[in-house]
Structure 1
C-alpha cells in the first residue's frame, strides 16, 4: 500500500481526499459507514493489477475529506455531486462505480442520475432499493416501537456521535465485530445488537467488546481506521442518515426507476442487511434489467470486501471484463 497515491481535489464545494493506484479504465470505490477509503485496500491492489485505474475517496464527512457543518450538506445530491466532480477532476468522462453499505446508496443514485458517466455498477451488501411509497421516517418509527432502531437513534443531532467519539477504538472495534461473520459464528461471545436495542440503553452500550480482533482485521488496520475517525469524528457520516427523509422528498421522479446499466450484487451470506432488504434483493431481478448476478459469499458478514477480499476482487474483475462489450 506504500505505492498508493494520496491526493486531493476540490469538488462540489469541498476538498476531497482520495487514494489512487493503477492505470487503465477508471473504477471508483465508495465506502460505507463507518469506513473510509481503507475498506477497499485489497480491491485497490487487485483491480490495479488487473489493468484498472482505481480511485477510492474518503467521502464527504469521512477521514481526510472535509466535514461540512450543516446536516443539510449531506443530502444525496451533494454526495453524488462530489463523485461526479471527482471524475471530472481526474480528467475522465466515464467510470465503473462500486459501493458498499451507504456507499451503495450513493452508487445507485449516481447510476440513476448520470448513466452517461457511470457505465458499470457494483453494489456490496446494500442492494438497489427503489423509492418506497412511505417516507423513511414513518418506516423507521414503525421499526422502533419496542426497541431503538439505530437509524432512528441517529436522527437526534449530537447524540450518537458524542457516544461514538468518546472512545473511537472501542466504537470502531465494536461495530466492525458486530457486523462480521465472527459475531454470528462465535457462540461463546455474548450477543448484543446495535441495530435494534433496548430503549433504556445507549447505542454504545450495545456494542460487543470483542475478546480479540476478527481474523481479517489486524491491529495496523484498526489503527488506520482509528486515525481516520479521530480526524473526522463520526458526525459527518451520521449526517447522511439524517437526510433520508429529505432525500425521499426531493426525488419523487424516482418512483419506479430502474438501473439500466450492467450491475453486480455481492454480499456476505451472514450479513444482517440481507434480512432487512430481502424484498429489494429479490426485486432486483426486475428493477435491474441487466443484472449480472447476485452473489452471496459463504462465511462472510457485512464487511464482505474485507472479510473475503480475494472472492470479492475476483467477482469484480470478472464482472468488469465480461461487461466491457455490453454497451
Structure 2
C-alpha cells in the first residue's frame, strides 16, 4: 500500500503538519471538526495511486499544527490564506481543493477568493451557502434556538469542558450518532450535558470506525485540546463581516458536492431540492451526489464511493 508521510510546512507565519502521498497534480484535502488529517487516510492513498499528489493538512488550531493564541487568528481570511500559502509552498500552480464539514467553507471560499489557484472545488457534506443579509448566528438562533450547537460553542471554556473530559467516549458518540449507522438523524441541538453528553455509547462500533481510530483521534487531541478548533466557530459572525465584498459573488470553477442522505447537515436543507438550490450560486456544479444510508463522516463511512467520485472529478478538471 502507498505510504502516507508527514512533514511540517511553514505557511503564513505558522507551521502546519501535512499528511501526503503520491506525485502529480495537487489535491488538497481539508478536514472538519472535530477531526484532523487522519480523517482522509483512505483518500490520500487512493488519490496517490490514481496519479495525484494528495495532501491533507492539519489545519491551524488542530493537532500537530500551530495553535495561535488569539481567537481573532481563526477567521475565514486566515484559513483560506493557509490554503493559498500551502499551494505555493508545495510549488504547485493550482489544486483541486476538497473540504469536509468546516473544511468545506474553507474550500468553497478558496474557490471564491482565488479561482486562479483552484482547478476544481469539492465539498463533502456542506453545500455552498452564499453570504446572507443577517449575521449567521442570528439566523441559526431564529431557526433553531439558543441550544443549537454553534451557539453552545461560542463561550470559551464551556464546550472545552465537555470535549476534553472523556475524550474517547466523546469521539465514540460523535462518530456513531452523526453517522449513517445511527438509528435517527441528529438535530444538532444541545442540552444540559452539551452536544454528546446525553448520547449513549453504542453497544458496538460500526464496521468503518475501529477502536484504533478512536485511540488515534484521542491521542491527537490530548496535548493541545479543542480551543483552537472551537475558535473557528467563534469567528462565524466575524467572517460574515469580513466577507462583505463578496456578497452576491458566485463559485465559477468546476464544483462537486457529495453528501449522505442521513447527514444531519444535509438534512438542514431539503435533500430532494438541494442540487437545484445550489446551482444559482455554483455556476459549474458538474458533479452532485447523495449516498444512500451515509451520514456526516462520508469519506470515512463510504471510502470506496467517495474515492471513486473524487478521482473522477479530479480527472475531469485535469489541465
Report if TM-score (shorter chain) is over 0.5.
yes
Contact 2:176 2:182 in 1 (8 A): yes
Question: What SS does structure 1 have at the residue aligned with 2:267?
Answer: helix
State the Cα deviation string for residues 218-253 of structure 1 (Å, max 9, x = none). 111111111111133111111101100000011112
Which of 276, 279, 289 is matched with 1:285 structurally? 279
Give the match for residue 179 of structure 1: 178
Shift of 1:127: 0.9
Distance 1:59 1:306 in 2: 18
134-143 or 27-36: bigger deviation: 134-143
Which of 198, 204, 215 is matched with 1:223 structurally? 215
Contact 2:261 2:267 in 1 (8 A): no
Contact 2:2 2:21 in 1 (8 A): no
Contact 1:258 1:289 in 2 (8 A): yes
Question: What SS does structure 2 have at the residue aligned with 1:54?
Answer: strand
Give the match for residue 307 of structure 2: 313
Whether 1:151 and 2:150 are equivalent positions in the alignment is yes
Question: What SS does structure 2 have at the residue aligned with 1:93?
Answer: coil
State the Cα deviation string for residues 169-201 of structure 1 (Å, max 9, x = none). 01111111111111136xxxxx9x571133x44
Cα gap change, 1:288 to 1:194, in 2 (>3 Å):
closer
Give the match for residue 94 of structure 2: 94
Give the match for residue 170 of structure 1: 169
Give the match for residue 196 of structure 1: 189
RMSD of Structure 2 on Structure 1 (CA): 1.7
Cα gap change, 1:204 to 1:300, in 2 (>3 Å):
closer
Whether 1:261 and 2:292 are equivalent positions in the alignment is no
Question: What SS does structure 1 have at the residue aligned with 2:197?
Answer: helix
What TM-score do the two structures reach when normalised by structure 2? 0.95
State how 1:20-169 maps to structure 2 within 5 Å: 20-145=20-145, 148-169=147-168
State how 1:241-252 maps to structure 2 within 5 Å: 241-252=233-244
State the Cα deviation string for residues 263-299 of structure 1 (Å, max 9, x = none). 0100011111112144765421221111112100111
Give the match for residue 207 of structure 1: 199
Structure 1: gaps of 5 or more residues: 186-190
Distance 2:318 2:284 in 1: 13
Contact 2:257 2:289 in 1 (8 A): yes
Shift of 1:117: 0.7
Shift of 1:27: 0.3
Distance 2:7 2:20 in 1: 8
Contact 2:2 2:48 in 1 (8 A): no
Cα gap change, 1:89 to 1:288, in 2 (>3 Å):
same
Distance 2:305 2:139 in 1: 34
After TM superposition, the runs of 4+ consecutive aligned structure 1 residues lying more than 4 A away are none
